[in-house]
Amino acid sequence: MTTGIELRKLRKLYEGHGQGAWAVDGVDMTIGAGKFITLLGPSGCGKTTTLRMIAGLEVPTSGQILRDGLDITDQPVTDRDMRMVFQDFALFPNMTVEQNVTFGLRVRRMRGRYSEAEIKKRVFQFLDLVHLADHAHKKPHQLSGGQKQRVSLARALVTDPQVVLFDEPLGSLDANLRKIMQIELIRIHRELGKTFIYVTHDQDEAMAMSNAIAVMRGGKVMQFGSPRDIYDRPANRYVASFIGHAHIVEAKVAGRDGQGLVVSLGNGEKVRLENENSAATGESVGLMLRAEDLAFGEAGPGMVSGNVADSLYRGEYIEYVVELNGGAGVVHVHARTDLPAIDQGAAVAVRVNPHKAHVLAH
Ligand SMILES: Nc1ncnc2c1ncn2[C@@H]1O[C@H](COP(=O)(O)OP(=O)(O)O)[C@@H](O)[C@H]1O
Ligand SMILES: [Mg+2]
């Protein structure tokens, strides 16, 4: 038996959505109990539909959903012991913060489970958790966006669900507030130990918060793994270019030795890799080169040569756009801002971090 949520070949076709256009197209995933899992992908890739099927708000066209080994595919929403937090908060405007959170408890048929005094105690326990106890008497219109989101979170958590589902909950908040709320959500997840299933199209958010990320595209999961796996060892070109600032240069495997692979770029220059990469000699591959894994250095063997086509001052670093010699491709290099600026057109030599560059199948 697996504890947690298991999705088996989950598919969804909406009525009238067009021939063969699956909103969710065969999703297999195991979400361990107590984990923080994120569905990440562009708009329309099937994140919300997947989440709503887990919640029981949408009926799968085929496939199964299991919880702790039991098939819950046909279980009604109210029996699933899951709560959802939405981007638009969905608060009652005429109720106070306290009443909004209390409503969550009363509506969940908690008959006889709590006395009035216990309900109040429990509501304040969760208002404390989201740092809103001092605002209990306010109405939603008297709160900031971040505070409203905390109320909707407290309202979901107060019923003690096993699983909390989040659909782009921070989407309407500004960048600073989002960062603060990300840290809050991580803390709350750690303190409560519930399963969090989170939907976002923001890769930084997914990377920072999750135990594992499912990168989705066109209703399918392109890769399901830890943030580090997804970032350092993307399974395919789509994941490589969706996460972080990756540039993919076409290459051929020239050989292999004890330390790893030697790959040859289109212009004949060779790069050594010393991490886990599986590819056969002679195979055409894509070499994923992230800006932070590249640095300028002295020209010489093992260096990749090119010319600076552009530079962008980013504040934290200068981003150089480098066209590799012989039309081998374009890479971006992040350089410290206290180093001398490099002029447009200047010839440069780029060192590739042999532990980070990653080979992608063609
Ligand atoms: N109620 C619906 N009726 C018909 N098509 C829908 C409905 N909801 C979503 N879709 C379609 O299903 C696909 C996946 O949508 P959705 O799950 O909302 O994606 P995401 O949350 O990743 O943006 C999209 O093509 C969308 O247009
Ligand atoms: Mg959505």
Res. 1: pLDDT tops 80: no
102 lines ligand 1 (CB under 6 A): no
Query: How many Cβ atoms from other residues are within 10 Å of residue 3's Cβ?
Result: 13
pLDDT for position 36: 98
Q: Which of 252, 269, 244, 97 is nearest to 261 (CA)?
A: 252
pTM above the 0.85 mark? yes
pLDDT in tens, 318-333: 999 999 999 999 999 9
Q: 46 phi and psi, to 5 degrees?
A: 110, 15
pLDDT in tens, 168-214: 998 888 888 889 889 999 999 999 999 999 999 999 999 999 999 99
User: Taking the CA of residue 6 as centre, how many other CA atoms within 13 Å lie in the half-sphere pointing to its CB?
Assistant: 11
Which residues place a Cβ less than 5 A from the ion ligand 2? 48
**Measured between alpha carbons, how far is 224 from 236 in angstroms, rounded to an integer?**
12
Contact 67, 53 (CB under 8 A): no
Res. 107: pLDDT tops 70: no
- Nearest ligand 1 atom to the CA of 24 is 14
- Nearest ligand 1 atom to the CA of 168 is 21
Res. 88: pLDDT tops 90: no
Name the token pair of 323.
């066209």
Residue ranges and CATH numbers for the domains of the chain are 4-237 (3.40.50.300), 245-361 (2.40.50.140)
pLDDT bucket at 164, cuts 50 / 70 / 90: very high
Compute and round to an integer the Cα radius of gyration of the chain: 25
**Measured between alpha carbons, how far is 205 from 208 in angstroms, rounded to an integer?**
5
pLDDT in tens, 3-62: 899 999 999 999 876 666 899 999 999 999 999 999 999 999 999 999 999 999 999 999
Percent of the chain scoring above 90 in pLDDT: 76
- Nearest ligand 1 atom to the CA of 58 is 1
